[in-house]
Amino acid sequence: MLNRREFIGLAAAGAAFAGLGAQKGRILFGACRGFGDAPLMKELGYDFIEGGVAHALQPDKSDEEWKRRRDEVRALPIPLRSCNGFLPGKFRLTGEKASFDKPLKYAEKACRRADEVGLKTIVFGSGGARNAPKGFPKEKAVEQFVDFCKRLAGRIADCKVCVVLEPLQPKEANYLNFVREGRELCERIGSPRIRLLADIFHMLQGGEGAQSIEQTTPDLLRHCHIAEKGPRTAPGLSSDGSQFAPYFDALKKIGYEGGVSCECGWGKKEDLRANLEKALAVMRRLSGQV
């Protein structure tokens, strides 16, 4: 377990290294879509697809059922690089009724199956499972959440997948709302298996500026989500994408080489191809990877 001084030292070293290689980084682009859209996404030039833990990794299914899904995932035309929806709301991580045994087993199984298919990141948003119950002290809920993450980190210490904490806007969660808060929690957890996500939609909704990304490193920040402020549509559907420019500039500044995944609405079904193309074009332009 890293102490505060060691954590800060590693972060500073990572930032220095990122500065040296900032011009070399290549951001990868994906979208949260069903497996059936993977061929279209490959055709259009997307790098990866993002799925849901319950569907893609089946932590509540038998090994025999998982083998069939594993083969399906391995046969996808583009990689399943990330999954969201880590823990269902039936689990209770905070409050007087908090219980870790079942969610830890579920989470560990998801992580081990992620390794079998080369999944890089699992997104830990899960507001329904982690939110502090009404009237329960926020500080105590945060302590419980950190405790859960430490226990999970111990169980998956030999895994390759990273679980990335997702800050959610205040309307969706009553703590872990900002990237800066996520940095502090990662420091407290002190494990390379628990890292951080920046969701640009939630940052825009919560009024968090791009400087929070600049204060991370590529080692800490492992994945990003994106959607337009307000309507939560794909980049370019409701605006010219300029709202995202400071955030992409920050990603380039730190030498970010992870994924940026559209977690959003896509409009009418018949417009999916055109809207996928438009979103990818906007992200490529903002990243300088035209």
**Contact status, residue 227 vs residue 234, Cβ threshold 8 Å:** yes
Whether residue 92 lies inside any domain: the answer is yes
pLDDT of amino acid 290: 83
Determine, yes or no, domain membership for 111: yes
User: For residue 21, is it within any domain?
Assistant: no
The token pair that represents 235 in the structure block: 């980049």
- Quick: pLDDT tens for 137-180: 999 999 999 999 999 999 999 999 999 999 999 999 999 999 99
Residue 268 lies in a domain: yes
- What per-residue confidence (pLDDT) applies to 24? 53
- State what percent of residues in the chain have pLDDT above 70: 91
In this prediction, what percent of the chain has a pLDDT beyond 90? 91
* Backbone conformation region of residue 234, classed left if phi is above 0, alpha if psi is from -120 to 50, else beta: beta
Q: Is the pLDDT of residue 8 over 50?
A: no
Whether 126 is covered by a domain: the verdict is yes
Within 8 A by CB and 6+ apart from 71, the residues are none
**Domain-embedded: residue 243:** yes
Considering its fold, how many domains does the chain have in total?
Answer: 1
Asked if 176 and 167 touch (Cβ cutoff 8 Å), the reply is yes
pTM over 0.75: yes
Q: What CATH number corresponds to the domain at position 201?
A: 3.20.20.150
Using one digit for the tens of pLDDT, what is the confidence trace for 205-250? Answer: 999 999 999 999 999 999 999 999 999 999 999 999 999 999 999 9
Tokens of 254: 């730190």
- In this predicted structure, the answer to whether residue 42 has a pLDDT above a threshold of 50 is yes
What's the pLDDT score for residue 25?
Answer: 61
Give the pLDDT confidence of 56-69 residue by residue, as tens digits: 999 999 999 999 99
**Domain presence at residue 260:** yes
Mean pLDDT of the chain: 93
pLDDT in tens, 15-38: 333 333 333 569 999 999 999 999
Query: Is 150 part of a structural domain of the chain?
Result: yes
Please state, in angstroms and rounded to a whole number, the distance separating the CA atoms of residues 218 and 226.
Answer: 18
Contact 32, 38 (CB under 8 A): no
Tell me which residue range forms the domain holding 168: 4-14+27-287
Distance CA 47, CA 57 (A): 20
When comparing pLDDT for 7 and 161, which is higher? 161
Residue among 179, 152, 184 nearest 168 (CA): 179
